[in-house]
Structure 1
Amino acid sequence: AQGGDWGSIISGWMGYDFGAPKGNCAAIHLNMYGLRSADAVPETAEEKKFAQESVAVQDREMGYFREQATKPQTLSYGMMDSPVGACAWIVEKFNGWSDTDGDDIESAYSKDQLLTNVMIYLTTRSFNTATWLYRGLFDDADFGIGPGERVRVPVGVANFPKDFLGWPPRSLAEKTYNITHWTDMGEGGHFAALERPEKFVDDIRLFARSLEF
């Protein structure tokens, strides 16, 4: 399995719940730090520095999450009634979470790519259902696995430098994942598969070649 953003959480659970030999998930490749173990407690100075920086990032960037997690229906009426509003809500994330040249969003994406993404939500009227994912996670309050547990299938990591939810030091990540492959990518951000597709695919292939079954 492969995942970033929501997919990183889903892929993490797939590796944990259905990992070989008891299941059919042989390995996972992630480009976001999603699922966490209760044992993933910062201990070293580097790990504690990451934790402090993460709190600062969340204070600055997670307003959208709180709104979608607590008042998704209210937000959805406004978004579906205003294409410009929906475009601003979505495209701001592409601009802020990507490896752009300054504030030039078109250095990472074309207008067609951005508008296609927005129109998928508008034409299918799925902005509402997409935001309710956040409410479900908020209600469950379940981002992780219990103490003494970790994802034991081989895990590959692509650490893109401009992802606003970047990876912690490897020592902390390994408290949750059996990491057998780690790449510090030279460029790219949160939407790696769209922003840097060739580098993204190359790293998945490199990880896959390293696996032994």
Structure 2
Amino acid sequence: MPSAIETFSIHASEAELAELAERLHRTRWPDAELVADGSQGVQQAWMRAICEYWRDGYDWRAREARLNQWPQYRTEVDGLRIHFLHVPSPEPNATPLLMTHGWPGSFVEFHKVLGPLTDPRAHGGDPDDAFEVICPSLPGYGFSDKPRETGWGVERIAGAWAALMARLGHRRYLAQGGDWGSMVTTALSKRDPEHCAGIHLNMAIAPPVREDLAELSAAEKAALATMDHYRKYESAYGKQQATRPQTLAYGLTDSPVGQAAWILEKFWTWVDHGGHGPEAVLSRDELLDNVMLYWLPAAAASSARLYWESFMDFDREPVTAPTALSIFPGELFRPSRRWAQRRYCDLRYFNETERGGHFAAFEQPDIFVREVRDGLRAMRSPQ
């Protein structure tokens, strides 16, 4: 007997909000950095400004209502209650589209694209491009249950997503993802090929092989330089979460400033903001909405454990599903078409965009929507 699908809405208690305000008020601040840039980590002046606003200006009740404007549900899959958005389309022939976020993101990343994707007619688009969007929260993230046992890596999540789509009655669907969502989406295409008809990724893992290095284009050299910079200066968070997530979580779960700094450092370095800081692209409220989805459910440990489960075991095997790739210029990994074609055997669409970084749907919703539409439209075309 399939588990029930129950409606859900976000509601933080007054006690939770009062405790957050008290913890913010009592923050014990570290010394400021000794350099004029972010090379020692997120800068204190910016963190102080963000957290003062969080304490004194951020209106969670208004933001909560904004998040609750989209239909949300929970249902038990493989022993966990999975939280998900399920946004219908007014178009009768809309295609089901499963969208998966990553770390340090959440379903908040997709809020600006839900309207255009589900109702293109109302947003100046072609109604033939309409999608019915299903957007689950990863296990241990947001308002999905936290795993109570090991084994909840990318493959098991993909199995849960396949079960979720079957429960919703979708015999044919498309899937989209970035960051961990890219890994889960790729695994889903392999696990459920009879139902998952194709995928769109905005962070594709397709590194060069040895023979590629003999002759590199300027763009490929730049991509390798970015990857080298990531390895040397940006990847410590992943190593920590992959090896000792529990140790890290004590500080992040106890301190809202600690949790915010751990997340917002990545928005500072991974958003395509031209050196002006993430607030040049995302509002302070938007940044804090995402932080709240880690703070309220105390998800520091449970979200980090996905790295412990899967970070050291990335799947780099060929992908046979029809695939569309959008390469955003501020992304951490930017494969060239020739690298991508080697791994994605049925590459239907490949495009390098003009703007955008790691949080593509959040940063550049118009470009992201265009890419999803174009990529999946190309996928539907006869080959």
State the TM-score, normalized to the length of structure 2: 0.50
Quote the Cα distance in structure 2 between the aligned partners of 1:170 and 1:116.
Answer: 35
- Who is 1:131 aligned against? 304
Deviation sequence 1:29-50 (CA, Å, 0-9, x none): 000023x59xx62422228844
Point out the structure with the larger helix share: 1
Map 1:1-213 to 2 at 5 A. 1-19=175-193, 23-34=194-205, 41-44=209-212, 45-46=215-216, 49=221, 50-51=223-224, 53-138=226-311, 141-146=312-317, 150-163=318-331, 165-177=332-344, 178-210=346-378, 211-212=380-381
Partner amino acid for 2:370? D
What do the CA deviations read for 1:94-114 (whole angstroms, capped 9, x no partner)? 110011142322111100001
Using the TM superposition, give the Cα deviation of residue 193 of structure 1 relative to its aligned residue in structure 2, in angstroms. Answer: 1.0
Relative contact order (C-alpha < 8 Å, sep 6+): which is higher?
1
Aligned-partner Cα distance in 1 for 2:226–2:283? 31
Report the Cα distance in structure 2 between the residues aligned to 1:144 and 1:175, rounded to whole angstroms: 14
SS for the counterpart of 1:100 is coil
Deviation at 1:121, TM superposition (A): 0.6
Shift of 1:27: 0.6
> 1:33 is aligned with what amino acid?
A
**CA 1:70–1:25 in structure 2 vs 1: closer, same or farther (change >3 Å)?**
same
Q: Which of structures 1 and 2 has the bigger CA Rg?
A: 2
TM-aligned CA deviation for residue 188 of structure 1: 0.4
The 3-state SS of whatever aligns with 1:144 is coil
- The superposition leaves residues 127-181 of structure 1 with CA deviations (integer Å, 9 ceiling, x where unpaired) of 110000001114xx321255xxx21121111100001x22211111111102110
CA distance in structure 2 between the aligned counterparts of 1:174 and 1:143, rounded to whole angstroms:
18
The runs of 5 or more residues in structure 1 that have no matched partner are none
Q: Could you say what secondary structure the match of 1:10 adopts?
A: helix
Instruction: Normalising by structure 1, report the TM-score.
Output: 0.87
SS in 2 for 1:103: coil
CA–CA separation in structure 1 for the residues paired with 2:177 and 2:251: 30
Compute the RMSD of aligned alpha carbons.
Answer: 1.9
**Code of the aligned partner of 1:212:** S
Letter matched to residue 194 of structure 1: F
% identical aligned pairs = 39
Shift of 1:209: 1.8
